[in-house]
Amino acid sequence: MSTTHAKKPKIIWLNTLVFAITFLVAAIGVPWYGFTHGFSFGLWMALLGTIGFAGISITAGYHRLWAHRTYDAHWSWRILFALGGALAVQNSALHWSSDHREHHKHVDDNDNDPYSAKRGFWYSHIGWMLREYQAARYHDYNNVKDLQKDPIVMWQHRHYLALTLLTTIGWPVAIGWMLGDIWGAVILVGFARLVINHHTTFFINSLAHIWGKQTYTDRNTARDNGFLALLTFGEGYHNYHHIFAADYRNGIRWWQFDPTKWLIRTGSWLGLTRNLKRANGYQVEKAKLEMQFKKAKAQSDVGCETTLAKLHDEFDALLLRLREYYQVRKQLLDGKTKALADHMPTLDELQQKVAELRDALQQHKRAFRNLLQQQLAQQAS
Ligand SMILES: [Zn+2]
Ligand SMILES: [Zn+2]
């Protein structure tokens, strides 16, 4: 029997009280203190800075470094994010990564995905942490054996409670002491900051599986959502992330808001991060085109066999061109690396070929889109 229908598991009082009390203190404390005392400009800046540090510790540290191993990082980088992760109060990196790997492996499976979006908004947002839904699995860290070899991960895991208390209390008090308003800092940088960090991260498990576009795959509920990316340091491109989880980027276009990606990239220039992994460009484009084709077909419900066969042939021809483009582009990139090493002159010919192929591919894509529209319009009329 599915656990969905079984008797509800025991409430986890610690989590429930932490979420409820921090929320209440923030919701009542911020307007009350704001009206009676006011918050200084310095406190607002400290709020933003702390949200950023704790938030990015989860996205660049817990998520992309530890849970998915999309890059390697210097010890100083890992210590910083181990501390920021404790400040974010989302359990240890080891525990978080273990949950998250289960989420990817069993996405949308109501019994095995710890925060399955198919169990609804409330459950995937926060409900899953309020009861002992996965009691049997907890303390079994079999799926994060690799992380157990990282002494910084294990140090944070062993001292998680102390580190959390130290950072979540110590930091706002230190800020308040420096700015001369300890209670203001505790309310704003302590409580309100934690509530904001919590719920924006939780949106990735709830809203990013409900609201947005399925650009690359519809085999799971994950969505791409630029607005959520703004709130979550780039994690809103969740549809891309679920299909290409080994990529250190979530927003792969230059205009997509993904500060986590920018930070990891900047780290590589400073020698703090290395081995940044990216998905294969051909696979990414292919997935996207396949989804476009699939959606167009579903929308118009093409019944005619010959039209359908023709569209499939055209689609295959487009994929061939795509493959050719990426192959020649790879030759060019490899050639460039070699030329750089051998101090050879530039690879003009190959460069020109790539440019030509890129134009041809763009044209081909446009032509295919037009053909789709025409055929589907004919079908509809
Ligand atoms: Zn997800
Ligand atoms: Zn992930």
Q: What are phi and psi of 11, to 5 degrees?
A: -75, 140
How far, in Å, from the CA of 254 to the mean position of ligand 2?
21
Ligand nearest to the CA of 63: 2
> pLDDT above 90 covers what percent of the chain?
72
Tell me the mean pLDDT in the region 331-355: 79
Residue 301 has pLDDT above 70, yes or no: no
pLDDT of residue 349: 81
How far, in Å, from the CA of 166 to the mean position of ligand 2?
28
* Best CA proximity match to 197, nearest among 55, 47, 50: 55
Tell me the mean pLDDT in the region 80-94: 97
Q: What are phi and psi of 106, to 5 degrees?
A: -120, 30
Residue 79 has pLDDT above 90, yes or no: yes
How far, in Å, from the CA of 116 to the mean position of ligand 1?
8
Residue 157 has pLDDT above 80, yes or no: yes
The pLDDT confidence band at residue 118, using thresholds 50, 70 and 90, is very high
Tell me the mean pLDDT in the region 61-72: 98
Residue 273 has pLDDT above 70, yes or no: yes
> Which residues make Cβ contacts (< 8 Å) with residue 108, sequence separation at least 6?
116, 117, 118, 209, 220, 221
> Which residues make Cβ contacts (< 8 Å) with residue 184, sequence separation at least 6?
33, 37, 39, 40, 43, 176
Which two three-digit tokens encode residue 55?
């938030």
Residue 343 has pLDDT above 70, yes or no: no
Which two three-digit tokens encode residue 62?
């817990």
CA distance 334 to 67: 30
> Which residues make Cβ contacts (< 8 Å) with residue 307, sequence separation at least 6?
375, 378, 379
pLDDT of residue 346: 67
How far, in Å, from the CA of 95 to the mean position of ligand 1?
16
How far, in Å, from the CA of 241 to the mean position of ligand 1?
8
Half-sphere exposure in the Cβ direction for 126 (13 Å, CA): 11
How far, in Å, from the CA of 76 to the mean position of ligand 1?
28
Identify the bridge partners of residue 73 per DSSP, sorted by sequence position.
Answer: 273
pLDDT of residue 345: 58
| Digit-coded pLDDT (tens) for 188-229 | 999 999 999 999 999 999 999 999 999 999 999 999 999 999
User: Cβ distance 14 to 89 under 8 Å?
Assistant: no
How far, in Å, from the CA of 227 to the mean position of ligand 1?
16
Residue 302 has pLDDT above 80, yes or no: no
- What DSSP designation does 256 have? S
| Digit-coded pLDDT (tens) for 41-54 | 999 999 999 999 99
Q: Tell me the range of 15-19, 130-134, 309-313, 347-351 where mean pLDDT is highest.
A: 15-19
How far, in Å, from the CA of 97 to the mean position of ligand 1?
13
pLDDT of residue 314: 85
pLDDT of residue 3: 46
Other Cβ atoms within 10 Å of 17 Cβ, number: 11
Ligand nearest to the CA of 221: 1
The pLDDT confidence band at residue 380, using thresholds 50, 70 and 90, is low
Least confident of 84-88, 90-94, 324-328: 324-328
How far, in Å, from the CA of 211 to the mean position of ligand 1?
12
| Digit-coded pLDDT (tens) for 275-291 | 999 999 999 999 999 99
CA distance 59 to 4: 30
Residue 344 has pLDDT above 70, yes or no: no
Ligand nearest to the CA of 62: 2
Identify the bridge partners of residue 273 per DSSP, sorted by sequence position.
Answer: 73
